[in-house]
């Protein structure tokens, strides 16, 4: 969808902001550009909609050289979200959102109807917020309106320049979650600029780590964290990159232990090796029971089973699994086949979580599947 060919931006004073960049972004891909201030990431993004013109090289969108496209027409076909949002203070939220379709000649009623749909999509009830003005919104709400406005003309490309940087950490995380859910629905081709490696890792399908005007590594988040291409990248992502990698490493069935299992209508077993998972007739997770309960109580498992709160669907991140263990002070997490209630697949213990992280890192480094990795273990002798 977007292709850079030997793109350079050099200013009159001799400063080179971007130096001979060549890379491609696939349709529907979300790529985060991350690096310190002044590294060229925002310049790169602004050259896509010609707010900045390159000194050399060419940029293509869907096969078309953008230098041959009228800049105004080009920008109307590209969604643009910035940190300051840039809403018109004299227009209502609904009219702000309908701005670009209206400029493109869409009838006012149609544009406003589309704006209402998008406000609802980003979590703002148009009947509540549509008639308000920007000053009547919180920072997080204004950012949602900014995203809705950028999507109003249904552009194939979305440019986002640190859009969540001006809100507090709690709101920022909520906006990131909402944007990821939205991206699954609309599947735009997104260039997302940030200086925050954790945000880049969390949002990006791939990450471009910038040095000074050049890209030091362009890869999947797990690969950047697990196998930094240069000492600069290793230093930039930080010594705690193993912890960051937890957020981009999913739970896989091969990571799980298979503990003892009992069913709700079974009589209490005479002995158990510590604890057992309790399932219903359909093999769905119900809870757990301890060996102490089994040894001292009478009746069926149903009468004594405890609910297992520490549960996650397969595919959830290892970070979420670790957080769940801490939240419930649990020695293991039950993994099921879908969110909420579901078929029990196995248990993820701290030791298996660590192994999963090691396998993932080794697999990326060697470009093989996780289940092909054989881990070395340290003997206790």
CATH of the domain at 292: 3.10.580.10
CA distance 346 to 285: 10
Please indicate, yes or no, whether residues 95 and 227 belong to a single structural domain of this protein.
yes
Q: Final residue of a domain: which of 213, 247, 281? A: 247
Pairing type for strands 206-210 and 30-34 reads parallel
Asked whether residue 195 falls in the same domain as residue 168, the answer is: yes
What was the pLDDT predicted at 7? Answer: 96
Inside any domain, residue 372: no
Number of structural domains in the chain: 2
- 227-233 long-range Cβ contacts below 8 angstroms, 24+ apart: 227/361, 227/364, 227/365, 233/209
- Average pLDDT for 271-298: 84
Q: Are 154 and 10 in a shared domain?
A: yes
Does residue 381 surpass a pLDDT of 60? no
Residue 378 has pLDDT above 70, yes or no: no
How close are the terminal C-alpha atoms of the chain, in Å? 56
- pTM of structure: 0.75
Claim to verify: residue 334 and residue 191 sit in the same structural domain:
no
Residue 93's pLDDT is what?
A: 92
The answer on 299 and 176 residing in a single domain is: no
**Is position 362 within any domain?**
no
Say what the pLDDT of residue 55 is: 95
The whole domain housing 203 covers 2-247
Q: Answer whether residue 359 shows pLDDT above 70.
A: yes
Cα separation, 266 vs 256, in Å, equals 24
Domain boundary residue, one of 247, 280, 304: 247
pLDDT band at 207 (very low <50, low <70, confident <90, very high): very high
pLDDT of residue 177: 84
Same domain, 314 and 176: no
Summary mean pLDDT of the chain:
88
Q: Is residue 69 domain-shared with residue 180, that is, in the same domain?
A: yes
User: Do 191 and 329 belong together in one domain?
Assistant: no
Same domain, 91 and 16: yes
Query: Is residue 226's pLDDT more than 90?
Result: no
């Amino acid at each position: 969808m977007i292709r850079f060919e030997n793109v350079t931006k050099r200013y009159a004073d001799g400063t080179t902001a971007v130096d001979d960049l060549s890379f491609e972004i696939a349709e529907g891909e979300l790529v985060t550009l991350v690096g310190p201030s002044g590294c060229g990431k925002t310049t790169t993004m602004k050259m896509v909609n010609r707010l900045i013109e390159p000194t050399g090289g060419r940029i293509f969108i869907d096969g078309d050289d953008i230098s041959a496209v009228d800049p105004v027409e080009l920008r109307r076909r590209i969604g643009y979200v910035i940190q300051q949002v840039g809403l018109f203070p004299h227009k209502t939220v609904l009219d702000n959102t309908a701005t670009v379709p209206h400029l493109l000649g869409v009838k006012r009623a149609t544009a406003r109807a589309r704006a209402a749909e998008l406000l609802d999509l980003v979590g703002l009830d148009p009947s509540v917020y549509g008639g308000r003005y920007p000053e009547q919104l919180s920072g997080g709400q204004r950012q949602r309106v900014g995203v809705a406005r950028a999507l109003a003309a249904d552009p194939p490309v979305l440019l986002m320049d640190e859009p969540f940087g001006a809100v507090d950490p709690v709101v920022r995380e909520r906006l990131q979650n909402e944007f990821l859910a939205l991206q699954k629905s609309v599947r735009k081709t997104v260039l997302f600029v940030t200086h925050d490696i954790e945000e880049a890792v969390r949002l990006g399908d791939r990450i471009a780590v910038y040095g000074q005007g050049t890209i030091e590594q362009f890869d999947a988040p797990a690969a950047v964290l697990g196998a930094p291409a240069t000492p600069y990248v290793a230093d930039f992502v930080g010594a705690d990159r193993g912890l960051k990698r937890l957020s981009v490493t999913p739970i896989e069935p091969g990571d799980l232990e298979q503990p003892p299992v009992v069913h709700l209508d079974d009589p209490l077993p005479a002995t158990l090796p510590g604890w057992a998972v309790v399932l219903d007739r359909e093999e769905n997770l119900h809870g757990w029971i301890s060996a102490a309960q089994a040894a001292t109580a009478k009746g069926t498992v149903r009468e004594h089973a405890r609910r297992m709160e520490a549960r996650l669907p397969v595919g959830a991140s290892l970070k979420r699994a670790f957080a769940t263990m801490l939240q419930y002070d649990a020695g293991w997490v039950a993994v099921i086949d879908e969110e909420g209630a579901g078929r029990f697949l196995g248990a993820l213990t701290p030791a298996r979580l660590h192994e999963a992280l090691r396998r993932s890192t080794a697999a990326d480094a060697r470009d093989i599947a996780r289940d092909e990795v054989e881990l070395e273990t340290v003997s206790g002798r």
